[in-house]
Structure 1
Amino acid sequence: MFFTLAPAPLPDLPELLSLYASVGWTSYTRDPEALARALRQSGFVWTARDGASVLIGLVRGVTDDVSILYVQDLLVRPEWQRRGVGRALMEAVLERYAHVMQTVLLTDNRPDQLAFYRSLGFHNTRDLVNIPTNAFYRTTQAKLS
């Protein structure tokens, strides 16, 4: 298993579409130009590539580099999942932004996803009893894929 991580020059659009399609994120692939614009306007994008330079993973988000770090997307091609790629991407971002006061992300309710983020030190707001934290969410799409 060999892959490299780097703050990225943005991958080209066919690479992005292939990566997002590989994990079934069709809300992104339906509008390729919006996907490209979202990545261009992100505060950070880190990529993982295999030894042959194929895009195998990506993490992106926004930050003010002081008080908030929001991780928007973390995705890894299915054939590379559970091989340390997602963890390496997240750890690189968390190390780079370790001084930021809050790191936030949203994820689905799959047990493997919840366990993954817990293993990185994240706390689910549902579990916080001594810290009065609430998470609010609003989308303009009826259903996100």
Structure 2
Amino acid sequence: MEITLSDRRTIKIEAILELYRANEWSSADKPSELYNGLMNSHSLFSAWDKDRLVGIGNAISDGFLVVYYPHLLVHPDFQGKGIGKMIMDKMQEKYGHFHMQMLTADGKAIDFYQKAGFTKAGDTEPMWIYKGDEHG
């Protein structure tokens, strides 16, 4: 297995949907919105095993001070192989100097992001209006 990272925006929607469905993310139920959201992100990094999309991460940012990481996912068959870390390292190359980097994590993702240097945001409470049901 040789994983390569790319910042290209020429990813077929079918590959994206397969990755999101494999991870049971509800955004796969809104394919057009998901695709357009990813393609219009400030940054988009994808991980490839030859021509198979195995991971993806995006960032939304003002480009100077604040960045938010909405999505970072790796196909279940490829998890635990350092692919998520590779994508987050690319994000840190670009945004590591920013004043504030934000994300929302739950489950196994909490440990992953703590290892990447993220901490609980003081006494803040995460809040959202969310249309999915996978985060109970």
Work out whether the TM-score is over 0.5.
Answer: yes
- Distance in 2, Cα, partners of 1:62 & 1:13: 20
1:88 is displaced (CA, Å) by 0.5
Q: Which runs of 5+ in 1 are unaligned?
A: none
**Corresponding residue number in structure 1 for 2:59:** 61
**Corresponding residue number in structure 1 for 2:120:** 124
Counterparts of 1:88-127 in structure 2 under 5 Å? Answer: 88-108=86-106, 110=107, 112-125=108-121
1:136 is displaced (CA, Å) by 3.7
Alignment partner of 2:4: what SS? strand
Bigger mean CA offset, 6-15 vs 71-80: 6-15
- Distance in 2, Cα, partners of 1:44 & 1:18: 21
- TM-score w.r.t. length of structure 2: 0.90
Q: Which runs of 5+ in 2 are unaligned?
A: none
- Distance in 1, Cα, partners of 2:59 & 2:98: 13
Over the matched positions of the two proteins, sequence identity in percent amounts to: 26
1:140 is displaced (CA, Å) by 4.3
Q: Which has the larger radius of gyration?
A: 1
User: Is 1:138 paired with 2:134?
Assistant: no
1:71 and 1:105 in contact (8 A); partners too = yes
1:4 is displaced (CA, Å) by 0.4
Number of equivalenced pairs: 135
